[in-house]
Amino acid sequence: MKATSAFQTILAKMNKVSKPLESFLNELLIVFLSLKGRYCFRNLSRWASFCEHTISRNFAKAFDFYLFQQQFIDSFLQGRKLIAVVASDLATFGWTLS
């Protein structure tokens, strides 16, 4: 399954996403998968079909990324699920292991 059709399927299941936001997120997620490193709105506008102002305006809108990730996991991973956390990254977040 291609990434665009996977994103479209998941976004269609989310009922609070408008069509313009759906098309924006679909393209933006593809751009995120294509680029590496850090991004700013100007960089994203070079690679996407949206201008810098449109990207910043759509980033200001609320979007439930937790629900998106949950839908993604439920759609493509059937059966048991395992979540792994790399312990070396915990110090980055300010957590300590005792």
Confirm whether 81 is domain-assigned: yes
- The token pair that represents 5 in the structure block: 């059709």
Q: Do the domain assignments include residue 98?
A: no
Number of domains in the chain: 1
pLDDT digits (tens, 9 = 90+) for 33-81: 888 888 888 888 888 888 989 988 988 888 888 888 888 888 877 777 7
**What pLDDT was estimated at residue 95?**
60
Q: How far is CA 56 from CA 21, 22, 66, 68, in A?
A: 12, 15, 21, 20
Q: How far apart are the first and last CA of the chain?
A: 42
Query: Domain range holding 83?
Result: 3-93
pLDDT of residue 91: 62
